[in-house]
């Protein structure tokens, strides 16, 4: 699985847009980019997944440039409840799927009033 690099932590205020960037320079052709959110003492929760360009759902948007060597998770108008650790994962969904999810250290997002 491709290695990912994310900022260790980020701070924001309620109502702001937060963008978390993940670098994955050695991403392979079949790799997808997936983001998970984890609150303390809970399991990670799937946020969004994409392969290229832009993906949007009710929770977030994922921007992937043409070279796919990085991706940006965008959280619009964050609230206090968005304080969590965000993980970026890159992997080939056609081989073993989620059997060997490799989680990095993630980004600790702290949202303040």
Binding site for other proteins (CB under 8 A): 32, 34, 41-46, 49, 87, 93-94, 96-106
Is the CB of 43 or the CB of 113 nearer to other proteins? 43
CA distance 103 to 90: 9
Gap between the Cα atoms of 4 and 49, Å rounded: 15
Instruction: For other proteins, give the closer residue by CB, 99 or 113.
Output: 99
Report the nearest approach of other proteins to the CB of residue 70 (Å).
Answer: 21
- Helix, strand, coil: what percent of the chain each, to 5? 5, 50, 45
Q: What angle do CA 67, 100, 6 make, to 5 degrees?
A: 45
Pick between residue 53 and residue 112 the one whose CB is nearest to other proteins.
Answer: 53
Shortest gap between Cβ of 34 and other proteins (angstroms)?
7
Least distance from C-beta 13 to other proteins, angstroms? Answer: 27
CB of 105 to other proteins, least distance (A): 6
Closest to other proteins by CB, 37 or 70: 37
Name the nearest CA neighbour of 84 among 36, 39, 35, 17. Answer: 39
């Amino acid at each position: 699985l491709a290695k990912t690099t994310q900022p260790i932590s980020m701070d924001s205020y309620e109502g702001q847009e937060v963008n978390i960037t993940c670098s994955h320079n050695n991403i392979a052709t079949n790799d997808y980019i997936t983001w998970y959110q984890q609150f303390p003492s809970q399991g990670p929760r799937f946020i969004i997944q994409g392969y290229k360009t832009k993906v949007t759902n009710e929770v977030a948007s994922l921007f992937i440039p043409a070279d796919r060597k990085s991706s940006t998770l965008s959280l619009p108008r964050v609230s206090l409840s968005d304080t969590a650790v965000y993980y970026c994962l890159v992997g080939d969904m056609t081989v073993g799927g989620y059997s060997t999810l490799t989680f990095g250290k993630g980004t600790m997002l702290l949202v303040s009033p």
